[in-house]
Structure 1
Amino acid sequence: MFKLNNKIGIVTGGGSGIGKAIAGLFARQGARVFIFDIDAQGAAQAVAEIQVAGGQADAVILNISNQAEVKAAVAQVKATAGSIDILVNNAGVAHVGTADTTSEQDFDRVYSINVKGVYNCLHEVLPVMKTQQHGVILNMCSIAAWVGITDRFAYSMSKGAVLGMTLSTARDYLAHNIRCNCISPARVHTPFVDGFIAKNYPGREAEMFDKLSKSQPIGRMGTTDEVAHLALYLCSQEAGFITGCDYPIDGGFINLNN
């Protein structure tokens, strides 16, 4: 079950964190994975780890907020591999701030990556999938699209947009045998989280890690592997009857935090 033999997949932000876990798992399940990332070193490391384990992976370095770069990258994948079966829109950035403390520059940055970046990849990959008459798209949403999170104005805005794009894409491409879903994680422990805590709460790292862990009713953060396994299911043939859905993976955060 859940094999991806001979599938061609793109994972944005696949050089670290959740994206790296998804790329690695997909490769172990038989897919050839193209890691789209702005971090050349991280992407190269992720590719090397996949290849050492016997998998197939390639790194494509680009800025997903630039449509011309995304267009060229998608054309490169199509020319190299011949098809694109799976797109995982995982790349994103976080931001701390309320509506009146978020600068225009920071708002635009979050929008350009978290919203426009997803749009750019959809815009370029969907024509390929339409021609093939099949494909699976998975977008990385967040519990911030569903509940109010303190000091996450711009981030919550961006993830609400991802949810909307997921539903629209799922509806618009039903006739082309293209499925589109999203995942909404709560806090997942990644190197990004450690860096985020160190940057925003210097000197209080242990305290904040414990506090953020316990904000999930289950009492801990999620792991990247847990998110990757859900992503694998939704991108596999076993999930062929699922489209237009969001899947919280949140340790009970949405429904049990009362």
Structure 2
Amino acid sequence: MLSLKGKIVLITGLGQTTDEGWGIGAAIAVQFARQGAFIFGGNRSLSSANRTKNRIEEEGGVCDVVETDVTSSKSVKSLVEQCVQKYGRIDILVNNVGRSEPGCPASMSEEIWNAQVDINLNSLYLTCHHVLPVMEKQDTGGVVVNIASIAGLRYIGKPQVAYSATKAAIMQFTKATAIIYADKRIRLNTVVPGLIYTPYTRALAQRYSPGGDEEAYMKKRDGQVPMGRMGDAWDVAKAALFLASDEASYITGQKIVVDGGITASTGRV
């Protein structure tokens, strides 16, 4: 069950900034490698990507990483070409990059808005732009798993209009593209994480917590979840694994929400 043995996985945003904890991209890469996949990763920071690469190789897995600017078509094209040059195909694409900046339309600068659209949305377009033609030529087709956020479904307690807008756009991009490619043996689905505890969460706490009280910020996030706690990167990785696996072969254009019940509740924001 859920075997990815021999599958070639291209993933963006797999870097790990610290040896402490797990980010979503790193957990997905490790989880897929544990199921037998060969990982080929693109990441802005090569040192962060190498941290994940080392974790995979310590467990006997296979991982290559390439320094990649996912907002640059030239850089993404090079990433895809290097993966195809080594393996001859791409079976699974995982789009995981994302960044949140605070601000409403009146207060957010145009530069920040455009940068958010670039990193969160244009990056996904660029990977699909270069990967989908590769998958379309393959007899086995391919699978795309995009990582969005419940911020694209509802307001989650902090002003981040660009992040919310781009994450909502990811879900619709995935749905529309899934229908376009449904008869080409290519499936596209989205994992929609809720409040997930990762090293990046600490960075968010520094931006959003009143008076810099990180612990209070974490407790507030736990309190927002009907289950009483934030999820972790492995909760997201396991959902991504299911969607990438053959067990999900009749599922396309859909989303799996991994949020401990937030979007099913009126909740507390």
Q: Same fold (TM over 0.5)?
A: yes
AA of the residue aligned to 1:215? Q
Contact map agreement 2:4 2:36 (CA 8 A) in 1: yes
Secondary structure at the aligned position of 1:58 is classed as: strand
Q: Counterpart in 2 of 1:2? A: 2
Amino acid at match of 1:236: S
Deviation at 1:40, TM superposition (A): 1.1
Cα pair 2:190 2:256 within 8 Å, conserved? yes
Q: Residue 176 of structure 2 aligns with which residue?
A: 168
Partner secondary structure for residue 196 of structure 2? coil
Asked whether the equivalents of residues 195 and 259 of structure 2 are also in contact (C-alpha less than 8 Å), the reply is: yes
Give the structure 2 partner of residue 242 of structure 1.
Answer: 251
The amino acid that maps onto 2:183 is A
Q: How far apart are 1:83 and its partner, in Å?
A: 0.7
Please give the secondary structure, in 1, of the residue aligned with 2:54: helix
Give, as a single letter, the amino acid of the residue that structure 1 aligns with 2:149: S
User: Match of 2:46?
Assistant: 40
Equivalent residue, structure 2, for 1:55: 61
Residue identity opposite 2:117 in structure 1: Y
| Counterpart for residue 113 of structure 1 | 119
Mapped to 2, the partners of 1:200 and 1:255 lie a distance apart of 25
**Cα separation, 1, equivalents of 2:177 and 2:119:** 18
**Percent identity of the aligned residues?**
37
TM-score of the pair, normalised by structure 2: 0.94
> Paired residue for 2:148, among 125, 135, 141?
141
Name structure 1 gaps, 5 residues minimum.
none
Q: CA separation in 1, counterparts of 2:205 and 2:213?
A: 8
CA–CA distance in 2 between the matches of 1:229 and 1:206?
Answer: 27
Q: Which moved more, 1:5-14 or 1:196-205?
A: 196-205
| 1:154 corresponds to 2:162 | yes
Unpaired runs of at least 5, structure 2: 17-22
**RMSD of equivalent CA atoms:** 1.0
User: Partner amino acid for 2:200?
Assistant: F
Q: Distance in 2 between matches of 1:86 and 1:152?
A: 30
Alignment of 1:1-258 (within 5 A): 1-16=1-16, 17-133=23-139, 134-149=141-156, 150-201=158-209, 202-258=211-267
Counterpart secondary structure, 1:195: helix
| 1:187-233, Cα deviation, whole Å (9 max, x unpaired) | 10000001111243353111111001211111111110111011101
Q: Is the 8 A contact 1:217 1:257 kept in 2?
A: no
For residue 257 of structure 1, give the secondary structure of its aligned residue in structure 2: coil
Secondary structure, aligned partner of 1:122: helix
Task: Give the deviation of 1:77 after TM superposition.
Answer: 0.3
Structure 2: how far apart are the matches of 1:102 and 1:199? 14
Detail structure 1 runs of 4+ shifted over 4 Å in the superposition.
none
Equivalent pair of 2:205/2:212 in contact (CA under 8 Å): no
Q: Supply the AA of the counterpart residue of 2:197.
A: H
Q: Secondary structure at the match of 2:212?
A: coil
| In 1, Cα distance between equivalents of 2:230 and 2:66 | 30
Question: 1:58-107 CA distances to partner (integer Å, 9 max, x unpaired)?
Answer: 11111100011100110000001111000001111111111111111110
Shift of 1:256: 1.7
Residue 141 of structure 1 deviates from its aligned partner by 1.1
Q: Deviations over 1:109-150 (max 9, x none)?
A: 110010100000000000000000410000111111211234
